[in-house]
Amino acid sequence: MLSAVLAPLKDAAGPFASVAIDASRVSRATGDDPEQHWEPLARKLRERGAPDDVVEAIGTAATAGTGLGGERTRVVVAGGGRVVLDEVLPGRPVRDEAQYGAAPHLMPVARALATTCPHLLVRLDRTGADIELVGPRGAAEGHATVEGDHDVLHKFGGGGWSHRRFQERVEDSVARNTEQVAKQLRTIVQQEDVELVLVMGEEQAVAELQHQAPEELASVLVVVDSGGRAAGTDEQAEEEAVRAALDAHRAEQRAQVLDELREQLSRQQRAVDGLGPVVHALRRGQVDRLVLRDDPTSTATLWAGEQPLQLGLTEQEARDAGAQSPQEVRADAAITWALVGSDAELTLVEDDDLEITDGIAAVLRWSDEATEHTGVPSMPGHGQPPGTTADNA
């Protein structure tokens, strides 16, 4: 998901000016005014060498309306004198940040994406469904409505033969309407990169959808125990139920990544841990998924060159990787830039998830005799996991 969102940066050239700004629209009383947040960031960019026209271009983007309410982070990156990335993401940033250097500062994007996943919300009843596509940025990206052609849907009072026939017609109508919903969902799943299909609504219709769902739909279908199409639905309860389902999905994904990492580390095969071995693997394009303990207090740095994979623990290492004029930059900036350059993904973990050297590890695409499986002593300034550099925020 990270590589897909950041794909527009692949052909961008530095130096890069980057800002992460609080773009929340909750209440001006709590400081929710991007204009007020922008001025200190503009000063920091100029102090760090960003040209005036670049600062102006970033400011225009960073303070423009988002059309979205609630808590939001906006990340704007300029490279080669123009804006190359403008992302509005869920949640407030850890802090407003401004950077200028060889690598764009993309950790705020990675941090925000770690709280979301692309999914469908399906509000279902016996007549059809309302379908909402939620993209990787946590915002709705599309809507569809499916209304069935079969409308014998009200149960008949009384009993006897006529009652039984009518009940059968009702059940047949529900089945046929749900079949149309299943077909539409299957089409969307085939066309869109969604990880989950969250279904809520009338019990009979939900059960019918589960019964009719083809394998590719059934494998991502999760029933949510609140919400639906009915008038008076408790929106807060629905929101909490959806959040719980997404949290459970992300926890399962993280557990799978960590299980694979543990297994490969124990065998010293397709995994490495420690800043030195990970940087070496990133330079070679070996990393499939980076595992990082997100530490907003870290002061770790690396050296970065003109291309994403030209990085090293020292200036000489970056030069050996092909850099002409390497610069010392924040470690998280160099690392996430390398992930973009190699189409690798990122999993953020908590302190108690896994013991890994320097708070960083990677699952590799391949391993060979040149792969560094053994950690190296920490370089000066590398004693903390790569994260947000407090001094440079």
pTM above 0.85, yes or no: no
Query: Among 156, 155, 152, 148, which residue's Cα sits nearest to residue 180?
Result: 148
The two tokens of residue 346 are 């990122």
Q: Element (H or E) spanning 345, and its range?
A: strand 345-349
Residue 203: partners with Cβ closer than 8 Å, 6 or more residues away = none
Burial of 262 (0-12, 13-18, 19+ CB in 10 A): middle
From first to last of the 393 residues of the chain, give the pLDDT tens digit: 787 888 888 888 889 999 999 888 776 555 567 778 899 999 999 999 999 999 999 999 998 888 777 888 999 999 988 999 999 998 888 889 999 999 999 999 999 998 888 999 999 888 888 899 998 888 888 888 888 664 433 333 444 444 444 344 445 677 888 888 888 899 888 888 899 999 998 888 899 889 888 898 999 999 998 776 666 677 788 888 999 999 999 999 999 999 999 999 988 889 999 999 999 999 999 999 999 988 877 788 999 999 999 999 999 999 999 999 999 999 999 999 999 999 999 999 876 667 788 889 999 999 998 888 865 434 334 445 565 443 444
- Residue-range domains of the chain with CATH: 1-113 (3.30.960), 119-246 (3.30.420.60), 268-393 (3.30.1330)
51 vs 82: CA distance, rounded Å: 11
